[in-house]
């Protein structure tokens, strides 16, 4: 079987809200009005910290697909003032966030134990506040959120091959920056992390055989498997990976922006920045070339995300190992595309109705575990008013 990215078609129902005339979809999706409707129509569970679990109505997978979002839409009306990264969260919020993530990952891995039959992944996404709100393809909800998904492998196997030049697979060209030009120094920089549970792996050792992704990124195996997700030290190390990435990203784009090779303020690994990054001729040359490109090309300049935006995922590879990787988050690309899966959404209420009872049933099963952990309160949405699926319309 040829290793290639896949494009799958995922049906979704008609939205319950209409987008006002003259308003771009992404502007509307990020509005407090839509976020209020999201919780009321598709909310599953909410914690006192305002962590909201909800059904992805325009989702990635009809097998299992849910998200947790730090819903600050009622407290912070300015979309650019909302938390978009884990390091923006309070200690209590992160503690509950980690616990909910562990519980939902445990559910997926227990429900789908065979890596040959199901691809299981959890992906945390940060949105860069310098993104234009009305840019096509830009993720709509501008708050930190975590995705939990399962794809049947049989569906991926029979899916059409995706165009390898799809902008969402290449981060609109930005992924090649890390893959082709900075991969070596990126790996070297992250080697400074003192990790005990996360063990580095070569990129090609844990890529999915079906898609060949992820590509060129640093990867770590979770030694001890799923049980380690209950260890608070795992989440400490998971955070170290993010902090290392943020240092790399901020140093590079500060250099592109100013041309001045210096250590940014408030970084986690200043000595490593000085020794590995600012002492690397390739790192300096790529930043200089990119800086010149930005100066000369206004369209390309508009694609640059000056503030750190990332996708950090935890997935199960073909060998059944849990793998952590992290990449920059550029224009329009979804968490699945880091694993070579392009999702094409199709409004098809009839097709969605066929799979909705099973999907909702599994989401409610997973929610029961959060209820048992006493982390918050269940939400009675129209499709599950008493914790059981009720068809609408």
pLDDT tens-digit readout, 255-265: 999 999 999 99
Span 96-119, mean pLDDT? 97
| pLDDT band per the 50, 70, 90 thresholds, residue 282 | very high
What's the mean pLDDT in 207-221?
A: 90
Q: Mean pLDDT lowest for which of 19-23, 358-362, 367-371?
A: 19-23
Element (H, E) at 371: helix 349-372
Res 172 pLDDT > 50: no
Output 352 or 35, whichever has higher pLDDT.
352
Q: What is the pTM of this model?
A: 0.91
The separation between the first and the last C-alpha atoms of the chain, rounded to the nearest angstrom, is: 43
d(CA 40, CA 24): 22
Q: Lowest mean pLDDT: which of 75-84, 232-241, 265-274, 344-353?
A: 75-84
Q: Which residue has the tokens 């210096």?
A: 262
- How far, in whole angstroms, is CA 384 from its chain's centroid? 27
Mean pLDDT of 357-380: 97
Nearest to 71 by CA among 99, 50, 92, 43: 50
Angstrom distance (rounded) from CA 168 to CA 140 = 15
Give residue 139's pLDDT band: very low, low, confident or very high (50, 70, 90).
very low
- The encoded tokens of residue 51 equal 């962590």
- Taking each helix axis from N to C end, the angle separating 281-296 and 232-258, rounded to the nearest 10 degrees, works out to 60
pLDDT in tens, 45-88: 999 999 999 999 888 999 999 999 998 878 887 777 788 888 88
Lowest mean pLDDT: which of 38-42, 75-79, 379-383?
A: 75-79
Q: What is the mean pLDDT of residues 99-111?
A: 98
pLDDT at 148 over 50: yes
Contact 134, 102 (CB under 8 A): no
Q: Identify the residue with better confidence: 273 or 83.
A: 273
Residue 382 is predicted with a pLDDT of 93
CB 357 within 8 A of CB 392: no
Q: Which of 51, 56, 15 is nearest to 33 (CA)?
A: 15
For the cut 60, the answer to whether the pLDDT of residue 23 exceeds it is yes
Note the pLDDT tens digit of each residue in 314-329.
999 999 999 999 887 7
Range of weakest confidence among 40-49, 68-77, 143-152, 347-356: 68-77
Rg (CA), the chain: 20
Which secondary structure element, helix H or strand E, spans residue 195, and what is its range? none
Determine the longest span between alpha carbons in the chain, in angstroms: 63
- Is the sign of the CA dihedral 254, 259, 260, 262 positive or negative? positive
Backbone φ/ψ region at 171: left (φ over 0), alpha (ψ -120 to 50), beta? left
Q: Does 231 score more than 90 pLDDT?
A: yes
Q: Which two tokens stand for residue 287?
A: 């930043």
pLDDT attached to residue 24: 72
Q: Give the single-character DSSP code of 25.
A: H
**Residue 26, pLDDT score:** 67
Give the mean pLDDT of the chain: 88
Query: How far is Cα 370 from Cα 387, in angstroms, rounded to an integer?
Result: 13
Higher pLDDT, 309 or 190: 190
For residue 198, the tally of other CB atoms under 10 A from its CB is: 21
- 218 or 287, greater pLDDT: 287
The length of the chain, given as a count of residues: 393
Confidence of residue 132 (pLDDT cuts 50, 70, 90): low
pLDDT value at residue 181? 75
Q: Does 111 have pLDDT greater than 70?
A: yes
Lowest mean pLDDT among 88-92, 130-134, 178-182: 130-134
**pLDDT at position 362 over 90:** yes
pLDDT band, residue 384 (cuts 50/70/90): very high
DSSP-assigned letters across all residues of 284-343: HHHHHHHHHHHHH-HHHHTT---S--EEEEEEE-TTS-EEEEEEE--TT--GGGGGTEEE
Q: Which pLDDT score is estimated for 170?
A: 60
CA distance 331 to 182: 19
Q: Report the pLDDT value the prediction gives residue 178, as an integer from 0 to 100.
A: 66
Instruction: Work out the percent of the chain whose per-residue pLDDT is above 70.
Output: 90
Say if residue 167's pLDDT is above 80: no
């Amino acid at each position: 079987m040829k290793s290639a990215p896949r494009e799958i078609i995922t049906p979704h129902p008609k939205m319950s809200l209409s987008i006002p005339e003259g308003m771009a979809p992404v502007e509307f999706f990020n509005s407090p009005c839509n976020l209020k409707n999201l919780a009321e129509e598709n909310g599953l569970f909410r914690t006192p910290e305002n962590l909201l679990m909800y059904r992805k109505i325009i989702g990635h997978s009809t097998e299992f697909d849910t998200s947790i979002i730090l819903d600050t839409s009622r407290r912070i009306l300015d979309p650019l003032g909302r938390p978009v990264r884990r390091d923006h969260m309070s200690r209590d919020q992160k503690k509950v966030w980690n616990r909910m993530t562990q519980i939902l990952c445990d559910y997926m891995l227990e429900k789908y134990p065979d890596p040959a039959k199901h691809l299981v992944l959890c992906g945390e996404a940060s949105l860069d506040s310098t993104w234009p709100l009305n840019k096509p393809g830009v993720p709509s909800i501008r708050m930190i959120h975590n995705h939990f998904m399962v794809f049947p492998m049989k569906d991926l196997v029979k899916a059409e091959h995706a165009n390898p030049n799809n902008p969402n697979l290449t981060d609109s060209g930005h992924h090649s920056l890390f893959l082709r030009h900075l991969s070596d120094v990126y790996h070297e920089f992250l080697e400074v992390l003192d990790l005990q549970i996360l063990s580095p792996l070569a990129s090609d050792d844990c890529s999915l055989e079906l898609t060949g992704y992820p590509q060129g990124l640093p990867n770590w195996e979770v030694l001890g498997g799923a049980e380690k997700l209950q260890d608070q030290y795992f989440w400490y190390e998971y955070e170290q990976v993010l902090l290392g990435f943020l240092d790399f990203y901020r140093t590079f784009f500060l250099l592109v922006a100013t041309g001045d090779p210096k250590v940014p303020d408030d970084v986690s690994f200043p000595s490593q920045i000085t020794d590995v990054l600012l002492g690397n001729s390739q790192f300096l040359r790529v930043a200089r070339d990119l800086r010149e490109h930005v100066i000369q090309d206004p369209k390309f300049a508009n694609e640059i995300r000056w503030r750190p935006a990332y996708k950090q995922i935890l997935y199960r590879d073909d060998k059944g190992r849990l793998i952590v990787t992290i990449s920059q988050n550029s224009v329009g690309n979804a968490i699945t595309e880091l694993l070579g899966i392009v999702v094409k959404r199709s409004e098809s209420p009839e097709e969605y109705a066929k799979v909705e009872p099973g999907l909702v049933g599994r989401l409610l099963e997973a929610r029961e575990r959060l209820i048992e952990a006493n982390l918050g309160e269940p939400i009675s949405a129209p499709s599950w008013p008493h914790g059981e699926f009720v068809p609408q319309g």
